[in-house]
Amino acid sequence: MIRENNKVKDIQIAYIGGGSRNWAWTFMKDLALEAELSGTIRLYDIDKKAAKANEIIGNKISQKENAVGKWEYKALASIEETLTGADFVIISVLPGDFKEMASDVHTPEKYGIYQSVGDTVGPGGIIRAMRTIPMFFEIAENIKKYSPDAWVINYTNPMTICVKALYAAFPEIKAYGCCHEVFGTQTILKKALEEMRGLKDVERHEIRTNALGINHFTWIDRATYKDIDLLPIYKEFVDKHYEEGYQVDEEHWLNSVFKSSEKVKFDLFRRHGLIAAAGDRHLAEFVPSNWYLKDPETVAKWQYKLTPVSFRIENREALKEKSRKYVDGMLEIELENSGEEGIAQIKALVGLNELVTNVNLPNKGQMAGVPFDAVVETNALFQAGTVRPIIAGGLPREIESITLRHVEVQEGIIEAALAKDMDKAFKAFSADVQVSTLNPDDARALFDEMVENTKHYLSYWNI
């Protein structure tokens, strides 16, 4: 990297999963709109054609007249060439294919277990973790070998387990996990402030929150806008919209598998007095399934949707076509800021600013009541060359007990992977809050069937 007149040039970013047809484009556009950074993006993906397409798309973005950040994109064939000399490593990979994801999400339905996402907790999240952990062990070992001083930013789910796996394989790694779920909750707080107090032109980033928990089960116990305490205002907002729900934007939950009317979030606030800082689809999977996920009728009552893998397959085909049109020049690439904070984090780490935001890191005392080194999600201060977790405090006992159950399962699956022990993996699987509703024989049958369905990606486990 070269520092010159409040700009940092020649930054080397290695992008593992560089054939991504969603997040990679978002990242490219955000980089193009940042004038103070420039350099090279090295794209590495097992799908070499997708990475090559993104090389073309990335360079087209960089050449646009309104692209103030200039980057060169290169699709590379080897992980060694991709990582050597990298200042930053981005990880955004799909652990398995949609065939495996279909098993993660839909096989448990035969046993009465419904999952709204199936990528973090629950039987789907755990089996996905079994595929993902060996990949992240290997990624960490390669980072240790080729770019041990790089900052590593993970976007892959299951987020907590991915970050834990990186540190398990390379304890000195400088890695953290990024998730935008808290941003969505800050947006709801902004809407509440505008509606209940009539304030105008409030920006999401002006909403200050104290976040604590684990990824996709993160909570806010303090929130302010300037000198205004937002929790009483949020309570008024929840009471007003509890019955009918609330649409954050124009897209109604009935028309989107990713939207909700925030009723799960509102109900959890009434139960516990803290703001649940993730989307309803994720939150529902962390609590007992008879709360919000008993059956499709219960899901509809709480005004969100199960996300079928068939939708993801259709969406992938649409994105493939979009990629082809971008490459061929049949579709114009529009530059717009995503509102994500990955670029702001990079700017802080290279010394151009300071930033406080929520990230996933091993617990070094920033969160009370959770085991040391378990990965937690709290705020951290980003400065030149450092990410310092901010003391967040602890959760109320009733939320802490649910959180700790998931922590134990997540720690258990990592321990099982380190030992390559399928019996330990099953013990972690059967302790999950959703799986534990089954009798032992059914839990074992479900585990065995899901493992069989994904065994192509489980060679690491010696099965």
Number of H helices, E strands in the chain: 17, 14
SS3 sequence of 224-263 = EECCEEHHHHHHHHHHHHCCCCCCCCCCCHHHCCCCECCH
| Residue 216: Cβ-neighbour burial (10 angstroms; 0-12, 13-18, 19+) | buried
Alpha carbon distance 116, 283 (integer Å): 9
Note whether 59 and 326 are within 8 A (CB).
Answer: no
Alpha carbon distance 25, 280 (integer Å): 26
Residues 454/103/54/10 CA torsion (nearest 10 deg): -70
Alpha carbon distance 385, 405 (integer Å): 34
Alpha carbon distance 359, 153 (integer Å): 10
Alpha carbon distance 349, 401 (integer Å): 35
How far is residue 216 CA from its own chain's centroid? 8
127 closest CA partner among 393, 432, 350: 432
How far is residue 221 CA from its own chain's centroid? 21
How far is residue 447 CA from its own chain's centroid? 25
- Contacts of residue 399, defined as CB under 8 A and 6 or more positions apart, other chains included, come to 213, 219, 272, 274
72 — alpha (psi -120 to 50), left (phi > 0) or beta? beta
As annotated, the active-site residues are 180
85 closest CA partner among 25, 39, 118, 17: 39
Note whether 44 and 14 are within 8 A (CB).
Answer: yes
What is the DSSP code string of 92-136? ---SS-HHHHHHHHHGGGGGT---SS-SSSHHHHHHHHHHHHHHH
